[in-house]
Amino acid sequence: MRSVAVVMLLAVAACESAPPAPSLSPERVVEQTMWNYTVAWNKHDAAVIARDFYRMGSSVSEQTMSLKHSFAQLKAQGYDHSDIHEIKACITGADTAWAGMKFTRLTAAGTPLPPKDRASGYDLKKFEDGWRIVKLSGADAGKPLVCPVVY
């Protein structure tokens, strides 16, 4: 019994002296924000997207209503969820970033909605409550995701 207690004490001491996990680079933080965004998107969670990811509308409630409308239009086309192929994030300024995403929109049966290959670009800004998407744009799905040149 005493040896179990000693082993437990040594294990706790080892954990306390282990080096801290490395923090994510700013690019990885933006990339993770975008992966989290895709989770909310695939749940069609307009309220969460408007509150936690977008800063494009005049209010969260207006952005939520706009997203609900967009999801209804997508569902009318047979949309169920998106399969994300790639996300690339780049820091473009002290509090700005860009992210590119390649994806396919799918039906519940897994059939792609045309065009199969899609891409979008996202401008992000860092606010007190985290990174938020401030602008969306289309991108060429046939080209690699490349960080914008910042002058």
Q: Mean of the pLDDT values across residues 94-122? A: 98
Q: DSSP labels for 11-25?
A: HHHHHHHSPPPPPPP
For 22-65, the pLDDT digits (tens) are 688 999 999 999 999 999 999 999 999 999 999 997 899 999 99
| Residue 124 in domain | yes
CB 85 within 8 A of CB 103: yes
- Residue 59 is predicted with a pLDDT of 95
| Residue 68 in domain | yes
- Residue 67 is predicted with a pLDDT of 97
pTM for the predicted model, two decimal places: 0.84
| Residue 146 in domain | no
Residue 37 sits in which domain range?
Answer: 24-138
pLDDT beyond 50 at 11: no
Q: What's the CATH number where 122 sits?
A: 3.10.450.50
